[in-house]
Amino acid sequence: MGLEERRRRERENRKNAILKAARRLFFEKGFKPVTVESIARKAELSKGSIYLYYNSKEEIYTQILLNDIDKFHNHIAALLQTPSSASEALVRLANIYVDFFLNERELFRILMTFMLHTTDMNLPDDLNTHIIKTTNKTIDIIEQVFKYGIERGEFPATINLRQSRNAIWGMLNGIISLHLFTGIETKRAEAIRSTIKAGLDTYIRGILTPNPGL
Amino acid sequence: MGLEERRRRERENRKNAILKAARRLFFEKGFKPVTVESIARKAELSKGSIYLYYNSKEEIYTQILLNDIDKFHNHIAALLQTPSSASEALVRLANIYVDFFLNERELFRILMTFMLHTTDMNLPDDLNTHIIKTTNKTIDIIEQVFKYGIERGEFPATINLRQSRNAIWGMLNGIISLHLFTGIETKRAEAIRSTIKAGLDTYIRGILTPNPGL
DNA sequence: TGACTAACGGTCATATACTGACCAAAGTTC
DNA sequence: GAACTTTGGTCAGTATATGACCGTTAGTCA
């Protein structure tokens, strides 16, 4: 059924045209100043049409992150194929994560907006679930690096994996939050990288130092 | 108004998709065996949609010729820029004309169908006019070649231009009719070319020979 | 040769998709 | 605190598309 296939394709194309227009505008101006009307105009549609494809302005906003973060995960997947120490892998993973958000800062804002305002976003359940799963995927990859370190004898088997992975993820996001939108613009990237490097080094040293209380 | 522009583009694209599908099917099977339903399916539309863009099956058929013949005229336009004798130009024009139809035989059938069944084609007036103008354009080019010959002293000024151009056009079409669809397939092109060459040579000799009756 | 059937060009009632005026809520101004 | 403006989201009206249906034509059969 070519006819049905064409209609499906047109719907898909329409959705993508909306996302593309929205992405451009959000990245240029941020969430608030961009109106649904302006997205509609850039996508060459009416405002009513936007709501045929997306439930809300927030849904469009978060869908942008979901579209982009697949590339990040594909990139990360290659990381674990490259032979190296677990410590090196962890640093490299952190750098790729940071690069992803440095490349487009608005993506980080989208992630944080979601993390901080989940219940206010008015997202359909499946989109909520999808974002959570996607975020967890990143966290799981961090956990795999720790497991890899234990397997190679690099890290002690006594590490609390869940705790460590959450701590690393939190630290990455916390450091990025501190420096991505504030400070001297030309020094932000370096500030993030060096702080993360120092933080990871210290955390890893902590892992390797026997706990005298045990 | 991007929205209106997009809608206009979509209509244009839809029309072109129909023409493209129709062209493919007509060239493969000819006019009769191709149904409007089959064109619709190939264009990934419903049959009712076809009639939103074209008034009839015949209109689609003739529109195909109109789309293609522009290329022919552009090609021919270059001809008159190349310095040569009028006789040579005439032969070259005839060859380009023949090539055009040899390249896609169905185009000739479309032209002849129009010429022979104009009143039965149920075409809107503007399309009728357009085809007539387009056909006349070809005839006018032939006339210009004769004028060129007179200007250079190659042909006598006593030539009846209208008569000659119509005779040449008729001869070309008549010869093509004779050989395009009948005879041994591998010999058809050559049969047409050589017959046209001979016919043109004879006609030109006739032009150059003083009429003793005058 | 007339009755019947199948096929298909073209039509149009219905379905689907889209639009932008409108409403309610929130923020701003006086 | 009232009036005003802006904007996310809604929905009645409009635009576009679909495919069942009808009328006509051509072919078949008795």
Average the pLDDT over B67-83 and give the result. 83
Q: Where are the alpha helices (DSSP H) in chain A?
A: 2-29, 36-42, 47-53, 57-79, 86-103, 105-116, 125-151, 161-180, 185-208
Smallest CA-to-CA distance from A149 within A201, A57, A84 is with: A84
- Report pLDDT digits (tens) over B102-148: 999 899 989 988 887 777 777 888 888 888 898 899 999 999 999 99
- Report pLDDT digits (tens) over B30-53: 898 999 999 999 999 999 999 999
Same domain for A114 and A176:
yes
Judge whether residue B213 has pLDDT over 80.
Answer: no
Judge whether residue A164 has pLDDT over 70.
Answer: yes
Judge whether residue A140 has pLDDT over 80.
Answer: yes
Tell me how close the Cα of B1 comes to any Cα of chain A, in angstroms.
8
Question: Helix, strand, or coil here: B131?
Answer: helix
- The answer to whether residues A41 and A104 touch, using CB atoms and an 8 Å cutoff, is no
Q: For residue A122, what pLDDT is reported?
A: 73
Same domain for A61 and A94:
yes
Average the pLDDT over A74-78 and give the result. 82
Q: For residue B99, what pLDDT is reported?
A: 92
Q: For residue A47, what pLDDT is reported?
A: 95
Q: Per the domain annotation, does B214 fall within a domain?
A: no
For chain B, how are helix, strand and coil distributed in percent, rounded to 5? 80, 0, 20
User: Which residue in this structure is represented by tokens 């005879």?
Assistant: B183
CA distance B18 to B46: 11
Q: For residue A1, what pLDDT is reported?
A: 67
Nucleotide nearest to A48 (CA to C1'): C19
Q: For residue B7, what pLDDT is reported?
A: 95
Same domain for B154 and B82:
yes
- Partner-chain contact B46 A5, CB within 8 Å: no
Residues in chain B whose beta carbon is closer than 8 A to a beta carbon of chain A? 2-3, 5-6, 41-42, 44-46
A9 CA vs C8 C1’ separation (Å):
30
Q: Per the domain annotation, does B213 fall within a domain?
A: no
Same domain for B99 and B5:
no
Contacts of B39 in chain A (CB under 8 A): none
- Average pLDDT across chain B, whole number: 90
- Partner-chain contact A6 B45, CB within 8 Å: yes
Res. A213 pLDDT band, cuts 50 70 90? low
Same domain for B171 and B92:
yes
Judge whether residue B1 has pLDDT over 70.
Answer: no
- The answer to whether residues A62 and A131 touch, using CB atoms and an 8 Å cutoff, is yes
- Partner-chain contact B41 A2, CB within 8 Å: yes
Question: Which positions on chain D have an atom < 7 Å from some protein CB?
Answer: 6-12, 15-20
- Report pLDDT digits (tens) over A3-52: 999 999 999 999 999 999 999 999 999 898 999 999 999 999 999 999 99
Same domain for A2 and A76:
no
Does the complex come out with an ipTM higher than 0.85?
Answer: no
Q: Write out the residue range of the structural domain in which residue B173 sits.
A: 58-208
- Partner-chain contact A3 B45, CB within 8 Å: yes
Residue B16: half-sphere exposure toward Cβ, Cα within 13 Å: 8
CA distance B96 to B118: 26
